[in-house]
Structure 1
Amino acid sequence: MMTTTPSPGVHHGRAELAAQLSGLGVERDGALLVHASMRAVGRVDGGARSVVGALRDALGEGGTLVVPSFTPENSDTSPQYLDRVRGLTDRERADVRARMPPFDPAKTAAPSMGRLSETVRLTEGARRSGHPQTSFAAIGPLAGELMAGHRPDCHLGEDSPLARLYELRAQVLLLGTGFDTCTAFHLGEYRMPSPPRRRYRCVVGAGGGRRWWGYEDVALDDGDFAALGADFARADGGAAVRSGPVGSSAGRLFRLDAAVDFAAHWLPSHRTGARAPGPVPGGGTR
């Protein structure tokens, strides 16, 4: 995982960050999926709002900014929940479950996604997809289109915003984070032949109340994403990934479709029992 240590006493401004993002290659009027560590970016005048402003400045009025807005906190099958209840008694676990609020796309916070993600989610005019566990938030002219139709039993597959971003050939920006945070690689998992599946469960709203809902979906595993990303960054002589400073952090920029296609072929050869996917019309893999 890439880490960046901010320089003490250094402050960054919105205009400086926007110029760095444009120099890195962020496309005007494009769609951009961002994973960011504000700590790595360093001290910014105006904080996360200024970073969001800089991203929007680089994208221009026709650009759309997208961030993950995941909510593992309302699931009892998530690693976050299992860590939370480790060592508790059965009664204490039941109490934790009883107090877990249902997902509400208009209100439910996504604290584990960081300050930048929450700032985008709370920006006036932002749209959010409806998945109770792996929603995304977006601002810009394509926000509504990209966030629509996120099927509740499809975390990060063909009926999620990732597939819509793939179709647009959107860019991905890792801002002070490593490839282990690269959500786009999960779409590659769905495009492997017969990917393993598992049961998930979370709390959803029901007639003004709450209920537990269980569903089956692809078994998501980001445990090898750092290694996958390292190989992706080296492919084609490193041409697929552009790197450069953004504030005190190192930024990595690449095409989402290139990352997904690489993952769909890399994962079967690096995970036991998986088969390589075949080509599909129009490019990519299924």
Structure 2
Amino acid sequence: MYSKKDLMACLDQMGIEKEGTLLVHSSYKSIGEVDGRADTVLDALSDYMADGLLVLPTHTWRYISKDNPVFDVNKSPSNVGVLTELFRNRENTIRSEHPTHSVAAMGKEADAFTAGEYKHETPCARESVWGRIVDRQAQILLIGVDLTRNTFIHGIEEWLDIPDRMTDNYEALFSVLNSGEKVRVPSRRHCGLSWSEHFWKVNDLLIEEGAMKTGRFGDAETRVVDAQLTTALLTELLEKNPELFTENKPLEPEWRCYFRNKRMN
């Protein structure tokens, strides 16, 4: 059974920057038995990042839609896991006000990080928290989940305007803000197939190029993604091959050779 101290040691062994910004996607069940259960996991993350900024997704895209259009920042539950739902309700967390792709943040500059999200008409705008992840040179921790659960890559595709990723039309959504004000948020949505299910194909490339490393958090196989390096790498790859994540098959060897040769030269 893992203690808070054990889990904090795992973070240290993986080189998580205590004074940096850490975005966490997670599968709670993958961690194994923890003394104090999910609350201890959050205590470990929060205490470790006490001098930095801890961010967890609190998305509601699964049920906020044109048929159920009102997101309430204080009441709408997260649809992306038990840790995210517990975290958004913790004291001293601040939840952003985007109707479908909110996050909750705790720590250094959490107010500024989450501010104004209801002003964005797309899920992962470059000016949103997803772009701020890059600007802050954040690390992304994937606990017991792989790259297919890394919302951040949706952002990279969105910023490059990859075809068939976003609806042309807008849904009439609303956000009830922390102030209690209800505001209209006309929103384009992710569309088509579940393109994120194809993100796995760059796993080995990211490791080879130093943009990702692996470790353990409790029992969970865990990935640590460098947001800035990953953005640079996938931007170059997607500019050369916009159909990269359209097909669910392994990355062609030529692309790994391309980056290997570039690195060596």
Residues 1:65 and 2:54 are matched in the alignment? yes
The counterpart of 2:17, out of the listed 7, 11, 27, is 27
Structure 2 residues not aligned, in runs of 5+: 247-265
The counterpart of 2:135, out of the listed 143, 155, 167, is 167
The counterpart of 1:119, out of the listed 47, 65, 86, is 86
Mean alpha-carbon deviation: is it higher for 193-202 or for 50-59?
193-202
Paired with 1:240 and 1:42, the residues of 2 have a C-alpha distance of 27
Change (3 A) 1:194 1:26: closer
Change (3 A) 1:145 1:42: same
Give the percent of matched residue pairs that are identical in Structure 1 and Structure 2. 27
Paired with 1:157 and 1:221, the residues of 2 have a C-alpha distance of 19
Q: C-alpha displacement at 1:76, in angstroms?
A: 3.5
Q: Which residue of 2 aligns with 1:265?
A: 236
Deviation sequence 1:248-267 (CA, Å, 0-9, x none) = 11111021122233333334
Change (3 A) 1:271 1:27: closer
Paired with 1:41 and 1:12, the residues of 2 have a C-alpha distance of 9
Q: Is the 8 A contact 1:153 1:216 kept in 2?
A: yes
Change (3 A) 1:218 1:189: farther
Residues 1:188 and 2:156 are matched in the alignment? yes
Residues 1:246 and 2:217 are matched in the alignment? yes
Paired with 1:228 and 1:122, the residues of 2 have a C-alpha distance of 30
Q: Which residue of 2 aligns with 1:39?
A: 29
Q: Which residue of 1 aligns with 2:122?
A: 154
Q: Which residue of 1 aligns with 2:255?
A: none
Q: C-alpha displacement at 1:132, in angstroms?
A: 0.9
Change (3 A) 1:46 1:147: same
Q: Is the 8 A contact 2:139 2:225 kept in 1?
A: yes
What amino acid sits opposite 2:9 in the alignment?
Answer: A
The counterpart of 2:2, out of the listed 6, 12, 18, is 12
What amino acid sits opposite 1:247 in the alignment?
Answer: G
Q: Which residue of 1 aligns with 2:145?
A: 177
Q: C-alpha displacement at 1:129, in angstroms?
A: 0.9
Paired with 2:65 and 2:220, the residues of 1 have a C-alpha distance of 34
What amino acid sits opposite 2:92 in the alignment?
Answer: G
Change (3 A) 1:222 1:157: farther
Deviation sequence 1:94-135 (CA, Å, 0-9, x none) = xxx4xx47211122111x211111121111011111111111
Number of aligned residues: 238
Change (3 A) 1:205 1:186: same
Paired with 2:236 and 2:191, the residues of 1 have a C-alpha distance of 16
Paired with 1:229 and 1:131, the residues of 2 have a C-alpha distance of 27
Q: Which residue of 1 aligns with 2:107?
A: 140
Paired with 2:33 and 2:199, the residues of 1 have a C-alpha distance of 31
What amino acid sits opposite 2:95 in the alignment?
Answer: R
What amino acid sits opposite 2:2 in the alignment?
Answer: H
Q: Is the 8 A contact 2:137 2:226 kept in 1?
A: yes
Deviation sequence 1:49-78 (CA, Å, 0-9, x none) = 11111112332x21111011111244336x
TM-score computed with the length of structure 1 as normaliser:
0.73
What amino acid sits opposite 1:66 in the alignment?
Answer: V
Paired with 1:148 and 1:205, the residues of 2 have a C-alpha distance of 14
Structure 1 residues not aligned, in runs of 5+: 1-10, 78-96, 273-286
Q: Is the 8 A contact 2:57 2:104 kept in 1?
A: yes
TM-score computed with the length of structure 2 as normaliser:
0.79
Q: Which residue of 1 aligns with 2:253?
A: none
